[in-house]
Structure 1
């Protein structure tokens, strides 16, 4: 199956260190070689890069590893195809507009007999179960809440219902983000950690790279990393409980639910 990576922060931060290790799993230290992608939120916009080539062979992946794009919310994906051709239109993450904002989605898993009726503005371009699920989620949110973006608690409640129903069709580990807010659902495997003061040195497990975060951060910085399998060998990663949906805001897992998305 595929693998997921996300970063959610309280200040704009680059993902170069984590992506360097993650990209190695796209054909070198693992077999996820059927394409990759990454999306960075910046203000109201999204920088979106996808490639049907393996991450270890992609010049675009080299750009991401060497160009420190800073963002408070990032989703990345490396693909091992289970449904859909190895083609650009099937590379995650997928991007759509809802309530005047971009939404970004990536999925790890395999959904069987999942063919929801899509009768609105959200339709797949490719032929993956993942993009189908994304369109179904946005269509349902639009139908439930209309033209007004809901508060986080209401949105989370509906998402919990939706992802449970989708996960009944198979494995549904997913990342969904808009603005500075990130939702992560675990069906089988998902881990997270929060880096904050006092910052320590981290060592990648897939590449011989070490970073002393105390040298590149301030005491006020906070960064949450969410990934399918832990990226470092010397940090304490927390496993999601299967069936759990967490919301991250400003690098905080399970952020309070009384504020609107920004």
Structure 2
């Protein structure tokens, strides 16, 4: 399986600390050596980095770790291939334009044999994940419009996600730069950091950061991952079928829907 990482914050924030922990799992402390990617929203634009090799040994990933790119929403993915070849076209997150916004998608799981319904969006690579992304966007484009309320949009995303989860393991990160939608079928965790801030230590690297020195009293930063990244903080675990809509670091809406009882991956 792959691993996911996302951030939602109320102020432009860098992802250096969390990204450093995640990249070690890409071929060092974990087996996810088949590609990696990260997308940072900056206004209406997206700054994205992708590579088809292991993140733990990547010079590009090293630059991203040490360069404080500020963003309110970011999505990361490290890949352990199960469907599709190991190549740049198959690295997440995938990005498409819908309603004048860049939508960014990353998926952990497998929907064996899934093919998108014919429509405007078509996959470039040969993964089931990109097939699902194109299918989701085609259905959103056909059933909704850019003026839809956030409540109506989230209801549609929940319904679509519930349907995909019946086809296979579907752990999802999806954003348009304003909101971040997350859906869990097997494994996901989150943490929201706010004042008073304190230190934290990474599980996969010998790195400690004092968030008090890096933040203001008004900052709210939430991090969503497949597996907790730190050893000395309390992470909140998602239930199977749980979804949350994040905005500015806060949960705007959430719920739990029924999903098949897929085996949960072991905890590292």
State the secondary structure of the residue aligned to 1:53.
coil
**Aligned pair in 2 of structure 1 residues 255, 10: CA closer, same or farther (>3 Å)?**
farther
2:111 aligns with 111
- Note the residue ranges of structure 2 that are not aligned, 5 or more in a row: 255-268
2:193 aligns with 195
Map Cα deviations across residues 108-137 of structure 1 (whole Å, 9 max, x no partner).
Answer: 001123223222x21000000000111111
**Matches for 1:118-197 after TM superposition, within 5 Å:** 118-119=118-119, 121-146=120-145, 148-197=146-195
1:260 aligns with none
Alpha-carbon distance, 1:176 to partner: 0.2
**Matches for 1:23-172 after TM superposition, within 5 Å:** 23-119=23-119, 121-146=120-145, 148-172=146-170
State the secondary structure of the residue aligned to 1:254.
strand
Across the aligned residues of Structure 1 and Structure 2, the Cα RMSD in angstroms comes to 1.0
Query: What is the distance in 2 between the residues matched to 1:221 and 1:63?
Result: 25
Query: What is the distance in 2 between the residues matched to 1:149 and 1:141?
Result: 12
- Note the residue ranges of structure 1 that are not aligned, 5 or more in a row: 257-262
Runs of 4+ displaced beyond 3 Å: none
Query: What is the distance in 2 between the residues matched to 1:5 and 1:54?
Result: 16
**Aligned pair in 2 of structure 1 residues 97, 149: CA closer, same or farther (>3 Å)?**
farther
Query: What is the distance in 1 between the residues matched to 2:22 and 2:38?
Result: 11
TM-score, reference length from structure 2: 0.93
Partners of 2:16 and 2:68 within 8 A in 1: yes
State the secondary structure of the residue aligned to 1:65.
helix
1:229 aligns with 227
Task: Say if 2:209 is the partner of 1:240.
Answer: no
Query: What is the distance in 2 between the residues matched to 1:242 and 1:107?
Result: 15
Query: What is the distance in 1 between the residues matched to 2:202 and 2:148?
Result: 39
Alpha-carbon distance, 1:95 to partner: 0.3
Alpha-carbon distance, 1:254 to partner: 3.2
Query: What is the distance in 2 between the residues matched to 1:224 and 1:172?
Result: 21
Query: What is the distance in 2 between the residues matched to 1:143 and 1:106?
Result: 22
Partners of 2:116 and 2:134 within 8 A in 1: no
